[in-house]
Chain A
Amino acid sequence: MSGCSKRCKLGLVKFAQTIFKLITGTLSKDKIEDELEMTMVCHRPEGLEQLEAQTNFTKRELQVLYRGFKNECPSGVVNEDTFKQIYAQFFPHGDASMYAHYLFNAFDTTQTGSVKFEDFVTALSILLRGTVHEKLRWTFNLYDINKDGYINKEEMMDIVKAIYDMMGKYTYPVLKEDTPRQHVDVFFQKMDKNKDGIVTLDEFLESCQEDDNIMRSLQLFQNVM
Chain B
Amino acid sequence: MAAGLATWLPFARAAAVGWLPLAQQPLPPAPGVKASRGDEVLVVNVSGRRFETWKNTLDRYPDTLLGSSEKEFFYDADSGEYFFDRDPDMFRHVLNFYRTGRLHCPRQECIQAFDEELAFYGLVPELVGDCCLEEYRDRKKENAERLAEDEEAEQTGDGPALPAGSSLRQRLWRAFENPHTSTAALVFYYVTGFFIAVSVIANVVETIPCRSSARRSSREQPCGERFPQAFFCMDTACVLIFTGEYLLRLFAAPSRCRFLRSVMSLIDVVAILPYYIGLLVPKNDDVSGAFVTLRVFRVFRIFKFSRHSQGLRILGYTLKSCASELGFLLFSLTMAIIIFATVMFYAEKGTNKTNFTSIPAAFWYTIVTMTTLGYGDMVPSTIAGKIFGSICSLSGVLVIALPVPVIVSNFSRIYHQNQRADKRRAQQKVRLARIRLAKSGTTNAFLQYKQNGGLEDSGSGEEQAVCVRNRSAFEQQHHHLLHCLEKTTCYEFTDELTFSEALGAVSLGGRTSRSTSVSSQPTGPGSLLSSCCPRRAKRRAIRLANSTASVSRGSMQELDMLAGLHRSPAPQSRSSLNAKPHDSLDLNCDSRDFVAAIISIPTPPANTPDESQPSSPGGGGRASSTLRNSSLGTPCLFPETVKISSL
A residues near B, CB below 8 A? 60, 64-65, 67-69, 71-72, 86-87, 89-90, 103, 106, 120, 123-124, 127-128, 135-136, 138-139, 142-143, 159-160, 163, 183, 186-187, 191, 204, 208, 213-214, 216-218, 220-221, 223-225
Q: Scan residues 21-43 of chain B and give those whose CB is less than 8 A from a CB of chain A.
A: 21-27, 29-30, 33, 36, 38-39
B38 pairs with A163, CB closer than 8 A = no
> Provided the pairs A72-B4, A218-B17 are in contact, do residues A87 and B12 lie with their beta carbons within 8 angstroms?
yes
**Bound complex: CA of A138 vs CA of B6, how far in Å?**
24
For the A-B complex, the count of residue pairs with Cβ-Cβ distances under 8 Å equals 95
Cβ 8 A contact of A86, one of B3, B4, B54, B99: B4
Which residues on the B side are within 8 Å of A64 (C-beta)?
39, 56
Task: Name the prevailing secondary structure of the B interface residues.
Answer: helix
Q: CB distance B21 to A139 under 8 Å? A: yes
Measured CB to CB, the nearest residue on chain A to B28 is: A220
Residues B17 and A139 in contact, CB atoms below 8 Å apart: yes
Residue in contact with A90 in the complex, picked from B5, B19, B23, B30, CB distance below 8 Å: B5
B42 to chain A, nearest CB (A): 15
Give per-residue flags for B33-61: 1 if the beta carbon is below 8 A from chain A beta carbons, else 0. 10010110000000000000010100000
Residue ID in chain B nearest A102 by CB atoms: B18
Q: A86-B12, A139-B20, A142-B18 are in contact. Are A217 and B26 (CB under 8 A)?
A: yes
Contacts of B26 in A (CB 8 A): 213, 216-217
Q: Are A186 and B1 in contact (CB under 8 A)?
A: no
Q: Known contacts A221-B30, A223-B30: does B7 contact A71 (CB below 8 Å)?
A: yes
Instruction: Kindly state whether residue B73 has any CB partner on chain A within 8 Å.
Output: no
Determine which of B14, B23, B100 lies in contact with A221 in the assembled complex, contact meaning CB atoms within 8 Å. Answer: B14
Sample of 17 more A-B contacts, CB < 8 Å, known A64-B39, A224-B10: A65-B10, A69-B7, A71-B99, A72-B3, A86-B8, A87-B12, A127-B15, A139-B20, A204-B21, A214-B20, A214-B23, A218-B17, A218-B20, A220-B29, A220-B30, A221-B17, A221-B30
How many Å from the CB of B255 to the closest CB on chain A? 48
Q: Is the CB of A208 within 8 A of B21?
A: yes
Name the A residues within 8 Å of B10 (CB-CB): 65, 124, 128, 224-225
Contact of B33 among A142, A160, A204, A223 (CB under 8 A): A223
Query: Contact residues of B with A, CB < 8 Å?
Result: 1, 3-8, 10-27, 29-30, 33, 36, 38-39, 54, 56, 99-100
Q: With the chains together, A124 CA to B14 CA distance in Å?
A: 7
User: In the bound complex, how far is the Cα of B100 from the Cα of A214, in angstroms?
Assistant: 39
Assess the B19–A224 pair: CB atoms within 8 A. Answer: no
Q: Separation in Å of the B60 CB from the closest CB of chain A? A: 10
Q: How far, in whole Å, are A64 and B56 apart by their CA atoms in the complex?
A: 10
Closest B residue by C-beta to A63: B39
Q: Contact at A217–B8, with CB atoms within 8 Å?
A: no
Given A213-B26, A224-B30, A103 and B14 touching (CB < 8 A)? Answer: no
Contact A89 B5 (CB under 8 A): yes
Q: How distant is A64 from chain B, measured CB to nearest CB, in Å?
A: 6
**Contacting pair B6 A68 (CB below 8 A):** yes
Q: A127-B17, A220-B30 are in contact. Are A183 and B8 (CB under 8 A)?
A: no
Smallest Cβ distance from A83 to chain B, in angstroms? 9
- What are 13 A-to-B residue pairs whose CB atoms are below 8 Å? A60-B38, A64-B56, A68-B7, A86-B4, A103-B15, A124-B14, A142-B18, A186-B24, A187-B21, A218-B17, A218-B20, A224-B33, A225-B36
